[in-house]
Structure 1
Amino acid sequence: MIRCSGFRRLTAIAALTSTVISGCDNTTATPPTKQSERWPAVLSESTFVWSAEPGIDLLAQPIVTLRAYFESLVLGETSGSNDYLYPGFDHAVEREKPAEYSHYSLHLWPELGFPKESPEVGSSRLHVLRVADDGQGVTTVMCTWDWGIATQSAEASYQALGSWRGPQTGVGVQRVRLTTSVGSPPPTTRPQSGPSRYPSLDVFDNWRVVGRLSNSAPSDTVGPGTQWPEYQQDLAACVTLAPEPVERRQFLTTGEHPRSDFPTLPSYPGWPLESQ
C-alpha cells in the first residue's frame, strides 16, 4: 500500500511464509461499527502484513512507532484525509521537516491531493530490514513489497500497484529516522499485536518521526555518497528477501488479473482492540 509521494505503497510497502498467522488478543470485542469508523472504505479489503529480520521486535518500540507512522501515511494518502491517522500522530510527527534533518527529502505528513477513487484489494507486505541506534536517534530501514496490492480496472479485472522494473519489480525501500526525549519514561503500551487493523489509543509513546527517505525520492538525495550511503545495499537486500520470485512478481504487475491473484491476508501483527 508507496505512490509519487514516496510510497507507491509507499513505492506510491515479512519475509512471509506461505501461511500468515494472525495476531491474537484476549480483550473483549468492540462493536463492529468502531472498526469501520476508523478505517477508510477504499481500503476495506486491504491489510498490512509486517515481518522483520531476526532480533527486531515488531511488538516493541521503536518499531511500534514505525508501524503506526507508516500505516497512517498510507491511510491518509489513499483516502485523501487526515481523519484516518492513528491517535498520537499529530504530536509524534512534525508537519514540516525539522531543519536539522532537512536532508531527508520526503514530507513527513501524508500528501492528500491524490486520493484513490477505486478501492484497493490485497495486502501490503512490509519487512523491517535493520535498525541502527547512534545515541542521538534511531534509523530504521524497511522493505516495501507492493505486488500484492491491486485496484479494480474493469469488471472482475484487477491491476497491481507494484511496477515492473526487472529484478526490482514491486520492491521498494524506505529509511525513517526516529528520536525520543532523553530520560523519557518507559513506554506505557503493552506488546502491540491483536485482531484489530488499527490501534485504538496513542501507541507512539515518546517517539518522534523526524525524517524519511525512499527509493522514489529525487536521485540526488539517494545513493552512495549522500545521506543514505547504504541505499544500494539496502535495496539489493530487499530484492533478495522478497518472498516471491521475480517471475511471479513480474506476472502480477503486468496486465489484468482476477481478484484471486491478490488475496487479502490477515493483518499481522495487528493491534490490540484497546491499545493500552
Structure 2
Amino acid sequence: MVLTACNSSNGDKTTVDRSSGPLSEQSFHWTASPGIDLASGPAVPIRAYFESRLDGQTMGSLDYAYPGFDQAVAKKPQEGHDLLTSNLRPDVNRGPVNDPPVGTNRFMIQSVARTDDALIADLCFYRYRLAHENENGSFSSVAEAFATDDGIDVFRLLLTAPPNAGMSLPPQTGPAPAPAPAPIDNVFGDWKITGLLDSFAKSDPKFGGLWPTYDSDLAKCVADAPDPAERRVVLASGQHPRSDFPTSPPSPGWPLPTKVTV
C-alpha cells in the first residue's frame, strides 16, 4: 500500500512506500510521563523529529523524513562547530544503512520543561528492542556489539514553540488498531527543532554546562525501562528468534490518509 498525501501543509506530495523494505520491518512505539499528551503540543514535533531522523538515516535520504522536517530542523553551520546542531540532522551522505535493524523503536518522553526562550525535552530510547539478523537466520540485539552497552539511551532535544503553540497543529494520533506508520502532512507546524544532545557528545567540554543532569536522567530511563532488568540482559545478548524482536503496530501512530492508492 502506498500512502499518498494530496495538498500537504508544506506543499509537498508524499508518496513514500513504507509497506516493504527496511522501514516495514521497524515501527515506533511512544510512551510519556504523566501529564504529557502524545497527540498534541510539543510531543507531536518531538515524535515527528525522531521518527524522521531514524527513517532518513536508515534509508540514506531526507525523502523519508516527514513533511516539514527540512523547514523545522536547524542546519549545522558551514563553518565552526556547534554542539547542539552537529548531530541534529541524519547523515544521509553515508547512503542507506547496510544492515538495518528490525523490531520496535521504543521511546519515552521523560520530561518537557520550558526555559526563557525554548523547550527542553528529555527522552529515553530503548534500543535493545532492535536486532540485526545473523547469517544463520537468528537475531541479535543491536546492544550486543559492546559489552558495556545496555541498549538504553537518553536524548535532550531543544525546541522553539510558535506563538500560539496550542493551536498550531490538530491532534495527531492514529485510530486503533491500525494507525498510519507515518504522517502525510506537515506535523511540525511552526515548531522549530534547534538542538540535540546525546552520549556521543559527552566528551565535549561544553556538554556538562548544557546538560548537567545527564547521568541522573539516564538513570531514570533505566528505571523506567519497559522490561525488567533480567529480561533486558537476556534480550541484549545471544541469538534469538525474530519473535523476540517484534515489529509492533505503531503507537500512537498517525492519522490515516484521506486518499489511499492500492
TM-score (norm 1): 0.79
> Would you say the 8 A contact 1:106–1:217 is kept in 2?
no
Distance 1:183 1:190 in 2: 15
Q: Does 1:210 align with 2:210?
A: no
Partner of 1:257: 240
> Would you say the 8 A contact 2:125–2:152 is kept in 1?
yes
Q: How many residues align?
A: 241
- Structure with greater proportional helix content: 2
How far residue 189 of structure 1 moved from its aligned partner, in angstroms, is 2.2
Q: Does 1:111 align with 2:91?
A: yes
Distance 2:211 2:96 in 1: 29
Q: List runs of 5+ in structure 2 lacking aligned partners.
A: 5-14
Partner of 1:271: 254
Mapping 1:1-276, distance limit 5 Å: 32-34=1-3, 37-39=16-18, 41-96=21-76, 102-104=82-84, 106-112=86-92, 113=94, 115-163=96-144, 169-182=150-163, 186-194=167-175, 195-221=179-205, 225-274=208-257
Query: What whole-Å deviation, never above 9, does each CA across 1:215-255 have from its counterpart, x for those lacking one?
Result: 232423576x4210111110000010111122222222212
Q: List runs of 5+ in structure 1 lacking aligned partners.
A: 1-31
Distance 2:244 2:164 in 1: 49
Identity among equivalent pairs (%): 37
| Residue identity opposite 1:129 in structure 2 | Q
After superposition, the CA RMSD in angstroms is 2.5
> Would you say the 8 A contact 2:143–2:237 is kept in 1?
no
| Residue identity opposite 1:78 in structure 2 | T
> Would you say the 8 A contact 2:131–2:140 is kept in 1?
yes
Task: Return structure 1 stretches of 4+ with deviation > 6 angstroms.
Answer: none
| Residue identity opposite 1:37 in structure 2 | V
Distance 2:106 2:165 in 1: 32
Distance 2:251 2:193 in 1: 22
